Chains A and B, each alone.
Chain A
Amino acid sequence: MNFLFRYANPHEFMRLSGVVLPFTVIGTALCLGAGLYLGFSAPPDYQQGRTVLILFIHVPAATMAMGVYGAIAVCSLLSLVWRHPLSDIAARAAAPLGALFTVLGLVTGSLWGKPMWGTYWVWDARLTSFLLLLFLYVGYLALWNAIEDETRAARAAAILALVGAVNIPIIKFSVNWWNTLHQGETITSGKLAPVFLAPFLLMMAGYGFLFVSLWMVRIRTSILERRARSLMQQGAA
């Protein structure tokens, strides 16, 4: 906890993130570059043909979409329990990124579905729960933007994020109960051929680095924005 609080100080965060940021940006470029290169040079899958390439973009996006909501929930908990402004900033900065990952996951999923299932959209369990996840992100962002007072908005959004986090497993369970015709996960089953596994893991790492980089940039921008605003208020007074 002490470790966490040391870097939860905006000043410390600016210093640390300034050092880390170049490395995560380089990591993003290397992983995504290598992943895409290996992915495109991999032989076509015997069942899916070249469409397997879409999955290199799709699966990491979907994973990140879930992961980012988890990050928001953790930030919200920190903000509600310890009232730390930096966790509010972090939660708000992560939300649009998570929504974008969700959209990317949905769009690439339906592009992959067209040749595979013969239609852009099927109401299967995973697509449906991701659509609901997108609406959760939209509602969360809408609440942030609707409340003018920043501290109130932050705490209202934090409560909503936690309610959503409690509800997501239930939504997922109910949607699974409702319908399952999505193919099972192949990564953990160990059936993914090594030619696909390497670019796949690289893409996963690349998406992770990408999110961390963008998240830090957004948090830094937000901190600088606040500083500029308070300087302007001091100047006006």
Chain B
Amino acid sequence: MSPFATLFLRDVRLAARSGGSAALALSFFALVATLVPLGVGADLRLLARVAGGILWVAAVLAALLSLDRLFQGDYEDGSLDLIALSPLPLEMTALAKIVAHWLSTGLPLTLLSPVLALLFNLPPSPTLILFVSLLAGTPAVSAVGAIGASLTLSLKRGGLILPLIILPLLAPAVIFGAGAVALALDGLSSGNALGLLAAFAFGAVLLSPFAAAASVRLNLGG
């Protein structure tokens, strides 16, 4: 098996078995979605209107929960040093971790979103757009998040700084993602917004391994 696949499978297994970060993120996502109607009232028309934005913000926050451990666990027990010594370039290591993180948080969140959209009284076609937008956009959350995770990996309380660093950078994803849903709700075409979102995610996944690898390197003292 290639080093990339080994690392990727290891990270997916770790996420699934130790503490179940996917289950945690899903519960958080559902919980935020439950609290919002309690806060803004149960007016179904209002809920349908805000559903896209709320669910997008909640999904980003839920994906953030497990991000600070992306490199930190491996850094603390020393395995990151060994991974860095392996023939796999650090850029590919970062990419493997990004894909594994997306598979264990972004994808489950996307799969759960239609159920929560139902609770928000979102009509079927905007729900489909929400699903597609999360599918296209959550990789960007994992990718940009990996930069923040690698920058803060040596910090004991990195989890506090991480959201501060990456949330402003993720504003475009939220804007295009929630925008696509809002357009669909108004019966307009959301292809443009989805295209921009996909482009942002593609660029983020392509470029962030380099930034993440550079900051892992500096933290390993190289």
Choose from B155, B167, B169, B172 the contact partner of A164 (Cβ within 8 Å): B169
Binds B, one of A93-101, A155-163, A184-192: A155-163
**With A143-B151, A143-B152, A170-B200 known to touch, is A160 a contact of B175 (CB < 8 Å)?**
no
Interface contact B169-A178, CB-CB below 8 Å: no
Which residue on B lies nearest to A128, using beta carbons?
Answer: B171
The residues of A that contact B155 with a CB separation of less than 8 Å are: 146-147
The residues of A that contact B219 with a CB separation of less than 8 Å are: 152, 156
A136 at the interface (CB under 8 A from B): yes
Q: Is the interface of A mostly helix, strand, loop or mixed?
A: helix
**With A132-B171, A170-B172, A175-B171 known to touch, is A152 a contact of B218 (CB < 8 Å)?**
yes
Number of A interface residues at 8 Å Cβ cutoff, please give it: 27
Interface contact A166-B207, CB-CB below 8 Å: yes
The residues of B that contact A155 with a CB separation of less than 8 Å are: 215, 218
Choose from A164, A166, A175, A177 the contact partner of B196 (Cβ within 8 Å): A177
Choose from B154, B157, B200, B214 the contact partner of A159 (Cβ within 8 Å): B214
Choose from B165, B169, B176, B211 the contact partner of A142 (Cβ within 8 Å): B165
The residues of B that contact A164 with a CB separation of less than 8 Å are: 168-169
The residues of B that contact A139 with a CB separation of less than 8 Å are: 161, 164-166, 168
The residues of B that contact A195 with a CB separation of less than 8 Å are: none
Interface contact A167-B215, CB-CB below 8 Å: no
**With A132-B168, A132-B171, A142-B164 known to touch, is A156 a contact of B196 (CB < 8 Å)?**
no
Choose from B151, B158, B175, B218 the contact partner of A175 (Cβ within 8 Å): B175
Interface contact B207-A135, CB-CB below 8 Å: no
The residues of A that contact B214 with a CB separation of less than 8 Å are: 80, 159
**With A146-B161, A147-B154 known to touch, is A174 a contact of B171 (CB < 8 Å)?**
yes
Interface size class of chain B, counting residues whose CB lies under 8 Å from the partner chain? 20 to 34
A171 at the interface (CB under 8 A from B): yes
Q: Is the interface of B mostly helix, strand, loop or mixed?
A: helix
Choose from B158, B166, B179 the contact partner of A177 (Cβ within 8 Å): B179
The residues of A that contact B165 with a CB separation of less than 8 Å are: 139, 142-143, 160
The residues of A that contact B147 with a CB separation of less than 8 Å are: 159-160, 163
A228 at the interface (CB under 8 A from B): no
Which residue on A lies nearest to B182, using beta carbons?
Answer: A178
A138 at the interface (CB under 8 A from B): yes
Task: Type the 1/0 row for B175-190, where 1 means its CB is closer than 8 Å to any CB of A.
Answer: 1100100000000000
Inter-chain CA distance A171–B168, complex, in Å, is 8
The residues of A that contact B171 with a CB separation of less than 8 Å are: 132, 171, 174-175
Inter-chain CA distance A175–B24, complex, in Å, is 31
Instruction: List B residues 199-216 near A (Cβ within 8 Å).
Output: 200, 207, 211, 214-215
- B13 CB to nearest A CB, Å: 30
- A88 CB to nearest B CB, Å: 13
Choose from B152, B158, B169 the contact partner of A163 (Cβ within 8 Å): B169
Q: List 22 A-B contacts (CB under 8 A).
A: A80-B214, A132-B168, A142-B164, A143-B151, A143-B165, A146-B155, A146-B158, A147-B154, A155-B218, A156-B151, A156-B219, A159-B147, A159-B211, A159-B214, A159-B218, A163-B147, A170-B172, A170-B200, A171-B168, A174-B172, A174-B176, A175-B175
**Residues of A near any B CB (own CB < 8 A):** 80, 132, 135-136, 138-139, 142-143, 146-147, 152, 155-156, 159-160, 162-164, 166-167, 170-171, 173-175, 177-178
